[in-house]
Amino acid sequence: MNDGGAGLGLKAGRRRSRLVRFLLAALIVLPLGAALAAGGAFLYGKYLFETAGPHDDAKVVMLEQGMGVRAIASRLEREGVVSNANVFLAGVRFHRAERSLKAGEYEIPARASMASIMGILREGRSILHRITIPEGLTSLQAMQLVEAHPVLVGGMPETPPEGSLLPETYSFTRGMTRVQIVADMQAAATRVMDELWDGRADDLPFKTREEAVILASIVEKETGVASERPRVAAVFVNRLKVPMRLQSDPTIIYGLVGGKGTLGRPIRRSELDRVTAYNTYHVDGLPPTPICNPGRASIEAVLNPPETDEYYFVADGTGGHAFSRTLSEHQAKVREWRRIEHRQGAR
């Protein structure tokens, strides 16, 4: 019986030993397995985050101000540009980018990965819309373009003073107000004049920035060929120095129609003789205000005109002008222009 008891004890000890070894192995294997599973999940999530997206075409997505990262992830999944909102959310949190995603209107490129979408949102690369104000428009005409733009929001400001806007192409994001874009145009005009004023020529026949803009607006309306701006400016500067009246047709038109900008027909003789504050055939010096919004090139031209001895110009039939030093030269060129007009009218 003693031998049998010893055998039973030995077997029980062996069973306990195997159990201990099993438990020790489990303590090692289970965490290792969990770690491997977690690592596998991480690698798969990383793969999903960095692989190409599910959308075959570029898509525009709007993310409103105040949206949290979870709402952003859901919006992106709903718009079909990420395959799994939770993976995008996890990726953003892994990169600690929760607070750096920016609201805006975004164009998500075709097949963009979640990682690249996160980068777009972090950088705030919103879609830029544009509005172009051409040189030579009146402020009223410029405001009509602002009012008609489909992306700008809000009511219209009062029509700004003539000559206070810089003709330019302006970029903005969705949500920009009409009041703000007009303020930007005015600020741009001020910046350009600030930049150019101190470098002006010494012997100009005007003293103020306002007078420079008035003359630049006349140059703008008189010039159909951009390269002629300096030469046209020189003619008017020469006339002011004499002094001679500017005798500019666009000033007559502005005196007749104001901010509407265009007459829509040739000037009549009676209108040429009509005395208004803007008719420089009758008014000495400059008119009281600009007649349009001049561009930078016209402002540069009047602030630093070339030295010439020309006092006259007339249309040459090609969109440009023929310039003259003397009245007799000018009258001969006027007769030639009238012959051209007559031939064109006879066709």
Chain segment 240-261, per-residue pLDDT in tens: 999 999 999 999 999 999 988 8
158's tokens: 């009062």
Q: Which residues of 39-49 are buried (b: 16+ CB within 10 A; e: fewer)?
A: eeeeeebeebb
Q: Classify residue 292 by its DSSP letter.
A: S
| Whole-angstrom distance, CA of residue 290 vs CA of residue 134 | 16
Per-residue pLDDT at 9: 56
What is residue 274's three-state secondary structure?
Answer: coil
**Mean pLDDT score of the chain:** 89
Q: Classify residue 260 by its DSSP letter.
A: G
User: Higher pLDDT residue, 232 or 11?
Assistant: 232
Contact 340, 319 (CB under 8 A): no
59-123 belongs to which homologous superfamily? Endolytic murein transglycosylase (3.30.1490.480)
Per-residue pLDDT at 339: 82
pLDDT in tens, 280-336: 999 999 999 999 999 999 999 999 999 999 999 998 888 899 999 999 999 998 988
- C-alpha closest to that of 145 among 156, 154, 220: 156
- Domain residue spans of the chain: 59-123, 129-193, 202-346
pLDDT in tens, 92-150: 999 999 999 999 999 999 999 999 999 999 999 999 999 999 999 999 999 999 999 99
Cα 14 to chain centroid, rounded: 83
Q: In terms of pTM, does the model score above 0.95?
A: no
Per-residue pLDDT at 19: 52
CA separation, residue 116 to residues 69, 111, 113 (Å): 16, 10, 5
Per-residue pLDDT at 194: 98
Query: Does residue 264 register a pLDDT over 90?
Result: no
194's tokens: 């600030």
- C-alpha closest to that of 105 among 75, 61, 69: 61
Query: Does residue 22 register a pLDDT over 60?
Result: no
